């Protein structure tokens, strides 16, 4: 029985996709696994608590309006949340709240181990 579980685990690890984004140079937390990002939108937060949408600076107050504009055309997109190590969790949770309110998928970007 454990052999089957082990084989399934290996299968899912090998068939999962990995996320790669062309965004700001941030130090991200580590994790295993990646996701496809061909039509997703990167929301980055650096240590200076500056917000960026696909490398474009945006204020925290304008973030929701700009995301709604971008997602109005394609509901299949997802937000790739890239919060640099050391950013207060509240800032990342604010982005997650915006996504949840507007039924937008979110992927957390991390450095591979």
pTM confidence score: 0.64
Structure tokens at 9: 């685990």
6 lies in some domain: no
36 lies in some domain: yes
Q: What φ, ψ does residue 16 adopt, rounded to 5°?
A: -70, 155
12 lies in some domain: no
Per-residue confidence in pLDDT tens, the chain, 113 aa = 778 887 888 877 777 665 555 556 767 677 666 655 457 899 999 999 999 999 899 999 999 999 999 888 777 889 999 999 889 999 999 999 999 999 899 998 887 76
- For residues 28 and 87, the answer to whether their CB atoms sit within 8 Å is no
Number of separate domains in the chain: 1
CATH classification at residue 46: 3.30.420.270
Burial pattern 69-93, b for ≥16 Cβ within 10 A else e, equals eebeeeeebbbbbbbbeebeeeebe
For residue 41, give its domain range. Answer: 19-112
Element (H, E) at 5: helix 2-15
38 lies in some domain: yes
């Amino acid at each position: 029985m454990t052999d089957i579980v082990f084989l399934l685990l290996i299968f899912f690890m090998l068939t999962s996709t990995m996320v790669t984004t062309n965004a700001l140079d941030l130090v991200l937390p580590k994790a295993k696994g990646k996701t496809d990002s061909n039509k997703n939108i990167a929301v980055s937060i650096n240590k200076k608590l500056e917000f960026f949408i696909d490398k474009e600076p945006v204020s925290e107050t304008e973030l929701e309006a700009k995301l709604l504009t971008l997602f109005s055309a394609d509901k299949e997109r997802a937000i790739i949340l890239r919060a640099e190590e050391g950013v207060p969790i509240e800032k990342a949770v604010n982005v997650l709240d915006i996504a949840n309110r507007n039924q937008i998928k979110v992927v957390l970007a991390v450095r591979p181990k």
